[in-house]
Chains A and B, each alone.
Chain A
């Protein structure tokens, strides 16, 4: 099966830039997506197709995908950005399956 690897945790102070990475061999061929999940809530899409922001997502959220690594960047992270972040992409198989990364807990304090 296909894996997307994320660091378990990232910690920054308010106002600093947070970067969360997602590595996978298939990423040069597929888009990366990012979801934010706060405690007890459903996930929210914050980046789609590598670097596009859905309506309502603050401009401080941005994404990139280069080689085998995708990166979610939060410029000027705020306390309310704390939560778990998951990358997502297609499985490399031909079976139209998708996969999430293991998730990264972002702490802003």
Chain B
């Protein structure tokens, strides 16, 4: 059974840093596309970042230069390092396993999310 468990969310001051973790089970992270998606309180979904099975990483303009996605193959875990946090980064952050259609990478299996509050 595929399972994704996010952790690391917290209340943090603007300008601070935080690292989110996404522990995966039921599949091998390094062989998959892993995505982070966030949702601000009462708002819609926002794509944040993806790491490809080949190691390529991509970011939304809103976080580029501040956030870094990475993975630890030995722990089968994906991370999102968030620096220079802003009030507008406040959101529930979801980790998801993605699939590629050849044209896009789309999230298929989602975790339950972890809340980051910047205040």
Report if B1 contacts A (CB, 8 A): no
**Contact indicator B106/A96 (Cβ below 8 Å):** no
Complex Cα–Cα for A88 and B35 (A): 13
A residues less than 8 Å from B99 (CB atoms): 48
B44-61 interface with A by 8 A CB criterion = 44-47, 50, 52, 56, 58-61
B108 to chain A minimum Cβ distance, whole angstroms, is 6
CB-based A-B contact count at 8 angstroms: 69
Interface size class of A (residues with CB under 8 A): 20 to 34
- Whether A86 touches B45, Cβ cut-off 8 Å, given contacts A42-B113, A43-B94, A45-B106, is yes
**Contact indicator A31/B50 (Cβ below 8 Å):** no
Complex Cα–Cα for A1 and B113 (A): 26
Q: Which residues of B contact A (CB under 8 A)?
A: 35, 37, 44-47, 50, 52, 56, 58-61, 94, 99, 101, 103-108, 110-113
Closest 4 CB pairs of A and B: A90-B104, A103-B44, A42-B110, A100-B45
What are 21 A-B pairs with beta-carbon distances under 8 A? A1-B61, A31-B101, A31-B103, A31-B104, A33-B106, A42-B94, A42-B111, A42-B112, A43-B107, A45-B106, A45-B108, A48-B106, A49-B101, A54-B108, A86-B45, A95-B58, A96-B52, A96-B105, A98-B47, A98-B106, A100-B37
